[in-house]
Structure 1
Amino acid sequence: MSETTAGVSMTEARRVIADARSIVVKIGSSAVTDMASGIDHSRLDALVDALEARMRAGSDVIVVSSGAVGAGIAPLGLKKRPRDLATKQAAASVGQLRLAHAWGTSFARYDRVVGQVLLTADDISNRSHHANAQRTLDRLRLLHAVAVVNENDTVATNEIRFGDNDRLAALVAHLVHADALVLLSDVDGLYDGDPRRTGPDGRRAQFIEQVDGPDDLDGVVAGTGGSLGTGGMASKLAAARLAADSGVPVLLAAAGDAAQALDGATVGTAFAARPTRLSARRFWVRHAAESHGSLTLDDGAVAAVCGRRRSLLPAGVTAVSGDFSHGDVVELLDPAGTVRGRGVVSYDADVVATMIGRSTADLPGELRRPIIHADDLVTA
């Protein structure tokens, strides 16, 4: 039977988050910036106070901070968050400098050194870049510096963006083998609808204290971001599910409740992690790697590959799409076109096109490996 603290049940997921020795904390734009003055230093200092308390309690903390674009809006005299890419990148180039300086100044109150780490989606999807980012973050921790991570908005294009820093935080949590992820923003947790509005039937949105699996999200309606950020509840929910699916428990809470979130996990919504953590390679295939094409499978191959985790052989492939190369990740589609999995291909696209539908015994020796080995695929 679970205990109850500060109005929430102290479930196993909350205990794991409270006791985590390594934690990634994502800070939303609205928690550190405002339209009028750019960076809100008093709120940032309060967040650093909570982060410092967690570190003094023995945890390694990596910060994923939004706010670069928001921090650049006021100095550039802009009246609202820009929509076009060039202006966003200009605002980020101004704001990123101010944001990094603000984090450094605030942590300096505790004699902490801050290291800025700017990433693009390519740094996570590319295996060599992925390893370099991991080494940098690990070394900063060993040197007792606080890593402050952000998407490199000044160079990221729409095609190579994470989409939002919630997803980036989930990817970083797995990258550094964190024990927990905390998402702090302007919402106090997950509701099954918009808590600011009353539904047509007069019903108010209900707070969800814990999510143990997909069934707990039935009927949940999540909205998009506010004026300063690109996230919103939809992106937080997606990021929480991504992290939990990879084996990292998540706490979604308000930035104003940072102290309680980081000291006891007694607020917000907790997302329980899957029982076993995905290996680094499987996580990369499922969540981090960019898809370079697709293979359509017949019903028998879908049952064998996606149902029984067998290697994909040429006989089960009916169509090839995309210009992929050996070692790239492709999506696996069923006959209806639904994505059923992803995997690392053993051959270039033009070679696979010559193999489809053929028995392995009929192929030359150099083409008798599976198109995708069972160890290199994940199912949807």
Structure 2
Amino acid sequence: MNAAGERETVALPAWRRAVLKVGSSLLAADGGGLSPRFALGLAQFVSSNLAAGREVVIVSSGAVAAGRAIVPKAAEAGAAMAARQALAALGQAQLIGLWQRFFERPVAQVLLTHDDLRNRRRYLNARATLNELLALGALPVVNENDTVSVDELKLGDNDNLAAIVAALIDADVLFIATDIDGLYDADPRAHPGARLMPEVAELTPAVLAMAGGSGSAAGTGGMRTKLEAAAKAGAAGIDTVLFNGRRAEVLRQLLQGRLEGTRIRAAHSRIAARKYWLRHAPLEPGAIVVDAGAAGALTGKGASLLPGGVLGAEGDFRRGDMVEVVQRDGDGERRIARGISQYSAVDVRRIARRHSRDIESILGYNYGGNVIHRDDLVLL
């Protein structure tokens, strides 16, 4: 608090695209099921930002809590994995229905597993789907696909999932709405004098030690998992914002660009972190060969690589692999860039020198008009 006894606020990072993670503690009703009590305020926060031209993806817990209300006798603590997965399946429709009631635009259900995000080709498909949903004006609501997950429902899975989704869609900021005010220098439940930390410049071991264990009975995560998520987001150059989603005043301040909570800063800028990864990620054997016109567009105009400027492909790389881009002409060849190919080597050879609009007629499918999107490319 400041000298006047008011809670200190800090500025939010500038953002155009964000992920908002909402925990079960903000959605679970007393006695089971879902409640709109706190979800309404969060939905108004989202709606105001959408109206301002920003983009938001929600990562929402609450499916298991919703399922407990449908089949309360199956909800004993420590239920078998299959029972919890069944509850998640029963509750997921209720969860999406809760969010849809707050928005006039369509709400899209996106269920992911960690396997989807570890497999590079599935990762690219998930990113393409989310980006297309945002382009269509829909509101994606993401949850872990607990029903088919082979791992146990881990503590804080959706905190970490939210961080991965933030990196997946190149978000500017990760908002984590919880039922406490932010990160304290000690457990406020045990230490009444604990101080709220408005800003964290670096997630040191000392800062991580401030986090306690699991939070409320309705959720599966605690402050520790939120800091782990912030570390993941920070590695991608994304700031994390922790705030109390139960307090209307906090949400009003967020809309004014001020945070009463905790802002955890990323160690590097988002662009720097992504470019570093693109520059240093392992290369697959092979290359995409381009003509002088395509090379000039890449190096001089910051353009994406289109099939019309491609001469061919070397090697046997797959969609989603990191490959080099080589310019070849009468003067020889030179390496000009590296990037993530949207198409396999076989497909690149088939669409080389053709127009983007012809891709589907040639291949029978398409992953977009770019062989390598400019966001997935770094010049050498």
Of 125, 132, 135, which aligns to 1:132? 125
**Contact map agreement 1:121 1:161 (CA 8 A) in 2:** no
CA spacing shift, 1:153–1:33, aligned 2, 3 Å: same
Distance 1:225 1:93 in 2: 23
CA spacing shift, 1:112–1:259, aligned 2, 3 Å: farther
**Contact map agreement 1:192 1:222 (CA 8 A) in 2:** no
RMSD, matched Cα? 2.7
Counterpart check, 1:233 vs 2:228: no
1:282-361 matches, cutoff 5 A: 282=277
**Contact map agreement 1:251 1:261 (CA 8 A) in 2:** no
Q: How far has the Cα of 1:207 moved from its partner?
A: 1.4
Q: 1:122-168: CA deviations, max 9, x gaps? A: 11000000000000100000000000000011111216969510000
Counterpart check, 1:192 vs 2:181: no
Q: How far has the Cα of 1:42 moved from its partner?
A: 3.0
CA spacing shift, 1:265–1:86, aligned 2, 3 Å: farther
Q: SS of the residue aligned with 1:55?
A: helix
Unmatched 5+ residue regions in structure 2? 282-319, 322-380
Q: SS of the residue aligned with 1:181?
A: strand
TM-score by length of 2: 0.66
Of 200, 211, 216, which aligns to 1:211? 200
Tell me what 1:245 maps to: 235
**Contact map agreement 1:35 1:70 (CA 8 A) in 2:** no
Q: How far has the Cα of 1:187 moved from its partner?
A: 1.2
| Aligned residue type for 1:75 | I
TM-score by length of 1: 0.66
Q: 1:266-294: CA deviations, max 9, x gaps? A: 211001112233228949x99xxxxxxxx
Counterpart check, 1:102 vs 2:98: yes
**Contact map agreement 1:118 1:149 (CA 8 A) in 2:** yes
Counterpart check, 1:28 vs 2:23: yes
Tell me what 2:290 maps to: none
**Contact map agreement 2:111 2:145 (CA 8 A) in 1:** yes
Q: SS of the residue aligned with 1:117?
A: strand
Tell me what 2:69 maps to: 74
**Contact map agreement 1:69 1:92 (CA 8 A) in 2:** yes
CA spacing shift, 1:15–1:45, aligned 2, 3 Å: closer
Count of residue pairs brought into register by the alignment: 271
**Contact map agreement 1:193 1:220 (CA 8 A) in 2:** yes
Q: SS of the residue aligned with 1:39?
A: coil
Q: How far has the Cα of 1:118 moved from its partner?
A: 0.3
| Aligned residue type for 2:229 | A
CA spacing shift, 1:282–1:50, aligned 2, 3 Å: same
Tell me what 2:345 maps to: none
Distance 2:79 2:134 in 1: 36
**Contact map agreement 1:21 1:60 (CA 8 A) in 2:** yes
Distance 2:39 2:9 in 1: 29
Q: How far has the Cα of 1:53 moved from its partner?
A: 1.0
| Aligned residue type for 2:99 | W
Tell me what 2:40 maps to: 45
Q: How far has the Cα of 1:7 moved from its partner?
A: 3.5
| Aligned residue type for 1:248 | I
Distance 1:241 1:222 in 2: 16
**Contact map agreement 2:9 2:260 (CA 8 A) in 1:** no
| Aligned residue type for 2:20 | V
Of 164, 168, 174, which aligns to 1:181? 174
Tell me what 1:276 maps to: 269
CA spacing shift, 1:123–1:160, aligned 2, 3 Å: farther
Distance 1:276 1:145 in 2: 28
Q: How far has the Cα of 1:121 moved from its partner?
A: 0.3
Q: SS of the residue aligned with 1:33?
A: coil
Distance 1:159 1:32 in 2: 22
CA spacing shift, 1:214–1:52, aligned 2, 3 Å: same
| Aligned residue type for 1:65 | S
Distance 1:82 1:9 in 2: 40
